Structure 1
């Protein structure tokens, strides 16, 4: 019995030594693995704490359109500034500018309505030339006349593109016409096509509605100055605004009007037409299928942003910030506002407002 107990004690002791050795071995193994992992990850940790900070500093001092958000744009002036211009920019003023001022409360933007003049790109640029605005928003390029006026006054104007808008052609919902080519649209407004039967529609006189060329935000000719020099057709009826045109189109079976796609495509009382560079490549400014008036406003036509973005839709307008180059506060805010809109956050907000970004 004594020998048996001794053997058991010996065995138990050996097992204890074995288990302690096993535990110590595991601990040593874990320590080795942990040290190895720390050594391997050390460069990355240093990069995050050191190089990462330098990268953030670089973003914070960026002066171009590569900044990721409103906070990373440098040299944003602290003050109150006046701006105005294109009526097509109204959704941007509501959506994008509200986000900018929330992120940068030191910057206060105030929209100024023109006095005794139709609101629009032309009015905004004129007010900028006259010193009534610090920068302007335009949905058309600067004209040679506007550039010359600026030079005469001792400064220059520059246009900085920040977005793209489609130009949609709308008609009365009852009008049955397959669509229009850009050339046909231009001929309508020059009085060369006066009946819808000339473009595959019913025998119905065309009533072309338009803002006055000098006030229009959107243009259907390649250069706005060309439109100013052209005598529009006698069938053209001038309206004060897009709101007025939409209201009149609902009462005129043969009426037609063109404007910012963002503004008119979702309207319930009109129908957007397909447009094309040729009659066999007509593209809709809305996402098909077409929502009929009796479905609206429960459903509304949505902008065909993909076609506008890839260039298949043939009639678009670039959205510009007009910057006064005078080395003063106007230039500083104009350039800062442009940079804010060109950030990733700004471009996303422009898309939220219903337009297409340029990045």
Structure 2
């Protein structure tokens, strides 16, 4: 009986050893086959990984290369600066400059009003000449007199264009007149045309309103004195308020500043009476529809030059090799980035690039 049990135990042990050897052999065989497959497929795997990496990098470049932005401008001085000038730039100061300072918190800009003068391009340039601000915003080019004053003080002034605007002529909404030619507008402000019936309107005296030339954003009569019948206002806001009360009143200013106002009406302008072009996008929004709807700038006419009176927007930079020159140059570069030009259009103006 013992011999029988011993034989069974021996047989079971041999079976176990055989099975274990069989399993180990299969495992080793699978490892050899797996290693061989990895070695054969390795070039393809490396090539695929390289392609994936290249695609990933290309995707990053596409996302990153979406145009110049406020963040990409170098040499922006980390300090606080004063600036001032054109009232036409009000929406840029509100919408664009605030965005610049949000993206570049190291730069702080503070708008400064003139003392004993109304705000405008002229007063801003004078403040720059006098050293009261670091750069100026202007909606007209520099004059020879301003350039001469700068040279007398040991520096020069550079004007760098960053946008475009139209000059709009606005009247009381009740006035029935088709429009004006540039020549008629100039004769109104020189005092040669004094009644609306002289330009196809009603028998109504004309009351021209204007900022004083030394403070104004724009100048209708270059090198000529305004007529004695011109009434002077401190600002565009005051002019718009008065026009709503004066049936025969007229005023000119940045189109962006006045065409969306509900209490005045913008007139089409032209080089001739047969080519009158509105400063707003047609159809015109009537005062009754405002403020639910507002007129928008006729950007196409400004951009293609068919609108007869264009105002270019300039950053006025003091060329003195000092910090004023550095901030003026940096500010202009910020506005001329892709992001800056889009923001200028969002503020209601026309981009230059």
Q: TM-score range by the shorter chain?
A: 0.7 to 0.9
Which of 286, 302, 307 lines up with 1:308 in the alignment? 302
The answer as to whether partners of 1:220 and 1:315 remain within 8 angstroms in 2 is no
TM-score of the superposed pair, with normalisation by structure 2:
0.83
Deviations 1:4-29 (A, max 9, x none): xxxxxxxxxxxxxxxxxxxx9xx99x
Counterpart Cα distance in 2 of 1:180 and 1:68:
41
1:12-69, Cα deviation, whole Å (9 max, x unpaired) = xxxxxxxxxxxx9xx99xx69966974994895597499x69xx8xx9xxxxxx9610
Write the deviation string for residues 49-99 of structure 1: whole angstroms up to 9, x where unpaired. Answer: 99x69xx8xx9xxxxxx9610000011111111111111111111100000
Q: Deviations over 1:204-253 (max 9, x none)?
A: 111111111111102224xxxx3xx4122222111111111111111111
| 1:340 matched residue in structure 2 | 334
Shift of 1:183: 1.0
Q: Does the alignment pair 1:327 with 2:345?
A: no
Change (3 A) 1:41 1:292: same
CA distance in 2 between counterparts of 1:346 and 1:220 reads: 29
1:354 is aligned to 2:348 = yes
Q: Which has the larger Rg? A: 2
Over the aligned positions, Cα root-mean-square deviation in angstroms equals 2.7
* Other-structure match for 1:11: none
Q: Distance in 1 between matches of 2:211 and 2:298?
A: 24
2:191 aligned partner: 191
- 1:213 and 2:213 are equivalent in the alignment: yes
* Structure 2: 5+ residue stretches without partners: 1-33
Q: Counterpart of 1:259 in 2: which secondary structure?
A: strand
Partner of 1:131: 131
1:286 paired with 2:280, answer yes
The aligned length equals 316
Would the aligned equivalents of 1:197 and 1:204 in 2 still touch at CA under 8 Å?
yes
Q: Indicate whether 1:163 and 2:163 are aligned.
A: yes
Structure-1 separation of matches of 2:46 and 2:180: 70
Q: What SS does structure 1 have at the residue aligned with 2:261?
A: coil
Tell me what 1:318 maps to: 312
What is the TM-score normalised by the length of structure 1? Answer: 0.82
> Which residue is 1:258 aligned to?
252
**Counterpart-to-counterpart distance in 2, 1:245 and 1:111:** 22
In structure 2, distance between residues paired with 1:122 and 1:134: 15
Rounded Cα–Cα distance in structure 2 between residues aligned with 1:146 and 1:348: 31
CA distance, structure 1, for counterparts of residue 246 and residue 44 of structure 2 = 80
Q: Deviations over 1:269-295 (max 9, x none)?
A: 110000111111111111111122122
Give the whole-Å Cα distance in 2 for the aligned partners of 1:32 and 1:194.
Answer: 91
What SS is found at the alignment partner of 1:167? strand
How far 1:315 sits from its partner (Å)? 1.1
User: Is the contact made by 1:76 and 1:333 (CA closer than 8 Å) also made in structure 2?
Assistant: yes
Please list every run of 5 or more consecutive structure 1 residues that lacks an aligned counterpart in the other structure: 1-23, 60-65
Give the Cα separation in 1 of the matches to 2:99 and 2:135: 19
* 1:272 and 2:266 matched: yes
Aligned to 2:13: none
Deviations, residues 291-348 of structure 1 (Å, cap 9, x unaligned)? 2212211221122122212212111111100000000000000000000000000001
Question: Do the aligned partners of 1:190 and 1:233 also contact (CA within 8 Å) in 2?
Answer: yes
Q: 1:35 to 1:107 in 2, by over 3 A?
A: same
Residue 69 in structure 1 maps to residue 69 in structure 2? yes
Query: How many Å separate the matches in 1 of 2:167 and 2:133?
Result: 26
Tell me if the contact between 1:67 and 1:73 (Cα under 8 Å) persists in the aligned partners: no
